[in-house]
Structure 1
Amino acid sequence: MDLNIQNVIKSYGAVKALDNVSLNIPHGSLVCFLGPSGCGKTTLLRAVAGLEEIDSGRIMLGDNDLSHTPARSRNFGVVFQSYSLFPHMTAARNIAYGLECRSWTKAQIAARVREMLDLVHLANQAEKLPAQMSGGQQQRIAIARALAPNPSLLLLDEPLSALDAKVREELRNEIRALQKRVGITTIMVTHDQEEALAMADVIVVMKDGHIEQTGTPQTLYQQPLTSFVADFIGRMNILPLDKTAGNSLHFADKVLKLDAAEISGSAPVSKVGIRPEAVSLLPATQTMPDDNHFPATIRSQIYLGHISRLEVVPDKRPDVKISVEMHGTANRAGYLPQTGDAVTLHLPADALRVLS
């Protein structure tokens, strides 16, 4: 069954934590609520879980209106970043606890606990207490406990944020594989864009209590609709256009060419964006056609092994710093400039995106 969130509003005093939020989550998908602190993503998750009472709107699971159903009656599995395991219970007993509360038989509980431990690859940890397990193992037990009662929805509230970088990367792959294997509809809250890009079928970018943009990771990265989404998902150069008369778009004293599809709307264009890896640098002495080529200077360079990040300033717009990302030891044109070099900056028309 799909989860349908309809016109949900939640306020704390004068602050609207959720401002008329509507969203449909298809059955079996993994959806990430992504955004900075205070954007409303955790409040929305808690509203879905029944841990926050909404002021208005509806939360529908299929044809069932859950808007005012208590959390204990929603049959949702919830996993928090703090694990919340019972410290005096073994891994097996932690998984069994929720089943005991639902009056499963001892035989049913034993079989389900074995199944869940096998699912998270921790059968050999069954008799260990939480303090005897690593953070990653504890979080897998917490997920197994949430899945044990066959919930209709799995809710993950920043489940990886308490782990170190390497364990976090390993566990995010495990959670994604586990979600696909079980086929359960899953909502995950995160502020980590890389985590969302790596795990989600759909990303919901939130800002100030409303949804800024919804789409697949590829759509949000390649076709952001606003400056906020462009800057929050990956890295993006935002180019403020020069104020000039007429319909032409000007940047650094030149007409800026864009794909026709990008400027087909009726709204005036004030900003365009381009990803750092889409920018090309060429020697200043190399003769190039005029379209979107600008004289510029390398201000700084950071070598990170597999990539180099450069900061480039157009000569005619010294107030604008453009990030360039080059893989390996040179960019796709085979040229590796150095700090202080004069270069030709190329902004390919097919990589420029109009931002509202």
Structure 2
Amino acid sequence: MDLSIHDLVKRFGKLTALDHVSLEVAQGSFVCFLGPSGCGKTTLLRVIAGLEEADGGSIRLGESDLSSIPARNRNFGVVFQSYSLFPNMTAARNVGYGLECRRWDRPRMQNRIKEMLDLVHLADQAEKLPSQMSGGQQQRIALARALAPDPSALLLDEPLSALDAKVREELRIEIRAVQKRLGITTIMVTHDQEEALAMADLIVVMSKGRIEQIGTPQQLYREPATAFVADFIGRMNVLPLDPGAAGSYRFAGTPLAVATLANGTANAATAAALGIRPEAVALREGGASGENILAADVRSVSFLGNITRVELAPENRPETAIVAELHGTATVPETGTRLAVSLPADALRVLS
């Protein structure tokens, strides 16, 4: 069943945590709520789970209105950042806790516990206490416990943020594989853009209690609609347009042609800035003549293994840095060198 959220409002005193939020979550999809701390993403998840009560709006699961249904009756599996396992219970008993509360008969419960432990590859840890397991193993047990009662949806509140980088990467692959295998609707809160890009079918980017943009990882990376999204998803050079350039695209005194517009319009009068990914910026020696080419000085060069990041100061706007990323065996310029910087028209995006 699809999850429909319409015009949701949540306030904490004078603070509006959710400001008229609406979205659709398709059955079986993996959706990430992504944004910085304080943007409202966790509050939105908690309202969906029934752990917070909305001040306005509605939440529907299929034809059912969840507004008046308490959290315990919404049939959602929830996994928190802090694992929240019972320290005096074995892994198997933790997984079966929800089944005991639902009064499943013992043979059925034992079969389900075994099935869930197999699903998260921890059948050999069944009799261990949480204190005897690693953080990654504990979070797998928390995931198995959430899935055991066969919930309508799985809600994940930054489940990987307490783990080290290598374990995080392994677990995000496992969680995505489990979600695909079960076909369960999943919503995950994260502030980690890499996690969202790697795991989600759809990403909801939030800022200050509102939705900035909704799209697939590819759409948000290639076609960010606002400067906030462009800067938050991956790396983006945000080039503020020159004052008095209404009706045209000019940066650092250079007129720029734009072939692809993020908002689908060609109205330069409403544009606030242009965006371009570092990997799309081309560098060459020689004069800054030709379309979409400007002069800039190399401010710094950072070697990062498979890429080299070059920071440039445009001749006529040195306070606005442009970053280029060179891959493989590309010739690396020296600091202080003046170069011609090419901003391809088909790589520029219009940002509101």
Q: TM-score, normalised by structure 1?
A: 0.96
- State how far apart, in whole Å, the 1-side matches of 2:77 and 2:246 are: 57
Conserved in 2, the CA contact under 8 Å of 1:40 and 1:207? yes
Give the aligned residue type for 2:298.
I
Matches of residues 144-163 of structure 1 in structure 2 within 5 Å?
144-163=144-163
Q: Pick closer, same or farther for the CA change 1:272–1:114 going to 2, 3 Å.
A: same
Task: Give the aligned partner of residue 143 of structure 1.
Answer: 143
Task: Give the aligned partner of residue 52 of structure 2.
Answer: 52
Residue 337 (1) aligns with residue 339 (2) = no
Residue 205 (1) aligns with residue 201 (2) = no
Task: Give the aligned partner of residue 277 of structure 1.
Answer: 279
- State how far apart, in whole Å, the 1-side matches of 2:212 and 2:91 are: 40
Task: Give the aligned partner of residue 240 of structure 2.
Answer: 240
SS in 2 for 1:302: strand
- State how far apart, in whole Å, the 1-side matches of 2:260 and 2:165 are: 42
Q: TM-score, normalised by structure 2?
A: 0.97
SS in 2 for 1:57: strand
Task: Give the aligned partner of residue 187 of structure 1.
Answer: 187
- State how far apart, in whole Å, the 2-side matches of 1:2 and 1:133 are: 36
Shift of 1:288: 6.9
Over residues 87-120 of structure 1, what are the superposed CA-to-partner deviations in whole Å (9 max), with x where a residue is unaligned? Answer: 1111001111110110000000110001001100
Q: Pick closer, same or farther for the CA change 1:260–1:120 going to 2, 3 Å.
A: closer
Over residues 218-246 of structure 1, what are the superposed CA-to-partner deviations in whole Å (9 max), with x where a residue is unaligned? Answer: 00010000010000111111111112466
What 5-or-longer segments of structure 2 have no aligned partner? Answer: none
SS in 2 for 1:219: helix
Give the aligned residue type for 1:47.
V
What 5-or-longer segments of structure 1 have no aligned partner? Answer: none
- State how far apart, in whole Å, the 1-side matches of 2:245 and 2:189 are: 45
SS in 1 for 2:270: coil
Q: Pick closer, same or farther for the CA change 1:266–1:248 going to 2, 3 Å.
A: closer
Task: Give the aligned partner of residue 86 of structure 2.
Answer: 86
Give the aligned residue type for 1:313.
A
Shift of 1:80: 0.2
- State how far apart, in whole Å, the 2-side matches of 1:124 and 1:64 are: 40
Task: Give the aligned partner of residue 346 of structure 1.
Answer: 342
- State how far apart, in whole Å, the 2-side matches of 1:73 and 1:156 are: 18
Shift of 1:247: 2.9
Shift of 1:78: 0.3
Q: Which moved more, 1:311-320 or 1:50-59?
A: 311-320
SS in 2 for 1:131: helix
Give the aligned residue type for 2:77.
G
Q: Which moved more, 1:89-98 or 1:319-328?
A: 319-328
Conserved in 2, the CA contact under 8 Å of 1:41 and 1:206? yes
Conserved in 1, the CA contact under 8 Å of 2:311 and 2:323? yes
Q: Which moved more, 1:15-24 or 1:249-258?
A: 249-258
Give the aligned residue type for 1:160.
L
Matches of residues 117-136 of structure 1 in structure 2 within 5 Å?
117-136=117-136
Give the aligned residue type for 1:353.
R
Conserved in 1, the CA contact under 8 Å of 2:246 and 2:269? no
Task: Give the aligned partner of residue 267 of structure 2.
Answer: 265
Conserved in 2, the CA contact under 8 Å of 1:99 and 1:149? yes
- State how far apart, in whole Å, the 2-side matches of 1:260 and 1:124 are: 54
Conserved in 2, the CA contact under 8 Å of 1:244 and 1:250? no
